[in-house]
Structure 1
């Protein structure tokens, strides 16, 4: 939308959700630094006043955007409330993540992107990204421990590093296919680390 086109404004409830949806769309497509608050208010169909009422600064909006992604992207730990696949399949499932359907270039992991766009380790957005990456590896380690891996901490870190490498390479190549290659490597790592390893072994 160009600056000369009329901007529609929507009244009523749901403005915060529209702003977050717009932020997710724009940050995913073009990055945080390239996205301005004017563009966000236009895409969200809210006034600048409404935007700043919900998010007094861009930093706060970035933080809310990252928090909204955490549950969807972290490895899922087993729960008594629902049946879970084997620990082996839980470890490999992180490599089956599919990015949202979009015509924009593939941008890999949003938390890696934020840590690059906001390089200051003391910035709240960078700290959120770092905390997410630590939790990602910790959850993999917990699953590896449940799977009785010989060295769950090492396996968790190896799989986290493999995931990040695939995401970064996919971003450079504008391709989501790197995840499939990473999964095949992960299978070898997991099977070597678990007792009675082997693709045909019961899990």
Structure 2
């Protein structure tokens, strides 16, 4: 076996584009099968690169996991992208808070938040990945608090934190049940919390 092929003759491609192919394979396989189940051999097979090429771009699997999390965090599609509804300028702050729960609900198989899933798998074994997820979740909560303040909440920090719990809970329960109903329930609960926080005292 050489750096450009396998014992079975499957071609391997290095050079330009190899890093992107590895990342795309990670996004697909980690999201679908999980991080621990997906080994280097499966990644290199899907990306059509040699093991040598893989390690030229990512010195360890943890380095790839961190790059994967950064990719899904900034991707223009996927479950994390739904959080960007908080930045929309065509909606008022109250509508943005409610739209978060509608826009996050997937139409087919529910796999949950890839950042949360990665944190569960990486707990105690991948400190860089764990820190990245924690940073993202804290920033997401800050954005909720900011939007809650714009919506006129009397205690925006309390409302923002509660909406974060509600959102993460809907993600987790939908994943467990493979059902989008928790998102619908969470939206109604969010409406009640927002009305309570912004209505007459």
The number of equivalent residue pairs is 189
Q: Distance in 2 between matches of 1:5 and 1:146?
A: 61
**1:173 aligned residue:** 177
Structure 1's consecutive aligned runs of 4 or more residues displaced over 6 angstroms after TM superposition are none
Q: 1:97 aligns with which of 101, 104, 129?
A: 104
Task: Decide whether the 8 Å contact of 2:14 with 2:50 is kept in 1.
Answer: no
Instruction: Please list the CA deviations of residues 11-31 of structure 1 after superposition, one character each: whole Å capped at 9, or x if unmatched.
Output: 542222211111011111111
- Offset at 1:122? 7.3
Matches within 5 A, 1:181-200: 181-195=185-199
Q: Which residue of 131, 136, 151 corresponds with 1:132? A: 136
Mean Cα deviation higher: 90-99 or 56-65: 90-99
State the alpha-carbon separation in 2 of the partners of residues 173 and 116 from structure 1.
17
- Indicate if the aligned counterparts of 2:31 and 2:111 stay in contact, CA closer than 8 A: yes
Displacement, 1:196? 6.5
Gap regions ≥5 residues in structure 1? 198-203
Q: Does residue 1:155 correspond to 2:159, yes or no?
A: yes
Q: Aligned partners of 2:65, 2:155: CA distance in 1, in Å?
A: 36
Q: What's the counterpart of residue 106 of structure 1?
A: 110
CA distance in 1, matches of 2:42, 2:69: 19
TM-score (structure 2 length as normaliser): 0.83
Deviation per CA, 1:62-111: give whole Å up to 9, x if none: 001111122342633547xxx4311012112221214486xxx6321112
Cα pair distance change 1:7/1:178, threshold 3 Å: farther
SS of 1:131's equivalent? helix
Over aligned residue pairs, what C-alpha RMSD do you find? 2.5
- 8 A contact 2:27–2:72 mirrored in 1: no
